[in-house]
Amino acid sequence: MNESKLNKLTSQYKETLGAHLLEPSGAKGNLPAQEIGRQAVAIGLETLDLAKIHHEALSQLIPAGCPEQKRDEATTRAAAFFTEVIEPIERTHPLAKKAHADLTQMKAKLVKRTSDLAKSNKELREGVAQRVAAVKNLKSSEDNSRKLLNEATALQLHLQDLAHQMLASHEDERRKMSLKLQDEIAQTLVAIHLRLVELDKELTMHTEAFKKEIANTQRLVEESVEIINGCAHEFGIVYEN
């Protein structure tokens, strides 16, 4: 086998395959591919020889950091290109027919496998994205729950404090009420006592004057009762008769 012709074919294969991969989706590049196949037949190459050249060219054309989806698409298009390249060998080499059948079967399996892997990778990426979103939502929910719990605890303590203040206020009001009632009653009783003392001194007075004093004393008692009832009403106390 002529080494220089092999090197030239290898270079042409890589260049033509690269142009084929850069073509828009659906573009045809069959004639250049079949021309390379005819040149391979002319220098005595077999299908396995072209498979080795194809593998080396593809590894150089697709960089290691290429995105997975782009790599899958390029591999599929490159497989179609290789099928066209080996077609001249199949027509001229009887043994190549069986190899082509095997290659076609392998190609179908490769395409299916590539499709399955692409689908699996897509589902995996979607699953990871959903899991990340779920974790993020869970953390947000936990933060909100913690915040609400803190607010509820603070509100409960505030309500307890208000309740204590109200009880203390009511107690203070009751104490003030008691002192006021005691003061009013004491003043009233002192006034009645003083009037009775005066009446005792004036027993020798004229009967009409004595009756007048009695009436004044009764009026004083009635006014005192009204004052006591008014104080009780002011503080919400109801006396049963």
pLDDT tens-place string over residues 45-100: 888 998 999 999 988 988 878 888 888 888 898 998 999 899 888 877 665 466 55
Q: Are residues 121 and 175 in the same domain?
A: no
Q: Are residues 27 and 103 in the same domain?
A: yes
| Structure confidence at residue 182 as a pLDDT band (50, 70, 90) | low
Residue 74: inside a domain: yes
Q: Are residues 19 and 92 in the same domain?
A: yes
Share of the chain above pLDDT 90, in %: 6
The number of beta carbons lying within 10 Å of the beta carbon of residue 72 is 17
pTM, rounded to two decimals:
0.38
| Structure confidence at residue 26 as a pLDDT band (50, 70, 90) | very low
Domain count, the chain: 2
Residue 81: inside a domain: yes
Q: Are residues 86 and 17 in the same domain?
A: yes
Please give the torsion angle defined by the CA atoms of residues 226, 232, 236 and 241, in that order, rounded to the nearest 10 degrees. Answer: -70
Q: Which of 98, 133, 168 is the last residue of a domain?
A: 133
Structure token digits, residue 11: 């270079």
Residues 29, 80: Cα–Cα separation, whole Å: 10
Q: Are residues 119 and 175 in the same domain?
A: no
| Structure confidence at residue 227 as a pLDDT band (50, 70, 90) | confident
Q: Are residues 116 and 15 in the same domain?
A: yes
Residue 149: inside a domain: no
Residue 46: inside a domain: yes
The number of beta carbons lying within 10 Å of the beta carbon of residue 58 is 20
Question: Residues 42, 8: contact at Cβ < 8 Å?
Answer: no
Question: Residues 76, 33: contact at Cβ < 8 Å?
Answer: no
**What is the SS3 assignment for 23?**
coil
Print the domain residue range for 228.
Answer: 160-234
Residues 109, 13: Cα–Cα separation, whole Å: 24
Residue 29: inside a domain: yes
Q: Which of 98, 118, 133 is the last residue of a domain?
A: 133
Residue 81: partners with Cβ closer than 8 Å, 6 or more residues away: 16, 17, 20, 21, 29, 33
Residue 11: inside a domain: yes
**Tens of pLDDT, residues 107-120:** 788 778 878 878 88
Residue 61: inside a domain: yes
Residue 3's pLDDT is what?
Answer: 86
Residues 56, 51: Cα–Cα separation, whole Å: 9
Residue 56's pLDDT is what?
Answer: 92
The number of beta carbons lying within 10 Å of the beta carbon of residue 174 is 13
Question: Which is nearest to 90 in space by CA: 146, 34, 25?
Answer: 34
Q: Are residues 22 and 126 in the same domain?
A: yes
Choose between 17 and 114: higher pLDDT: 17
The pLDDT of 193-204, averaged and rounded, is 67
Q: Are residues 111 and 67 in the same domain?
A: yes
Choose between 141 and 109: higher pLDDT: 109
Residue 25 in this model has a pLDDT that exceeds 60: no
Residue 240: inside a domain: no
Q: Are residues 92 and 168 in the same domain?
A: no
Q: Are residues 122 and 216 in the same domain?
A: no
Q: Are residues 26 and 62 in the same domain?
A: yes
Q: Are residues 112 and 164 in the same domain?
A: no
b (16+ CB within 10 A) / e for 82-110? bbbbbbbbbeeeeebeebbeebeeebeee
The number of beta carbons lying within 10 Å of the beta carbon of residue 47 is 21
Residue 220's pLDDT is what?
Answer: 82
Range with lowest mean pLDDT among 72-76, 121-125, 160-164, 202-206:
202-206
Residue 53's pLDDT is what?
Answer: 93
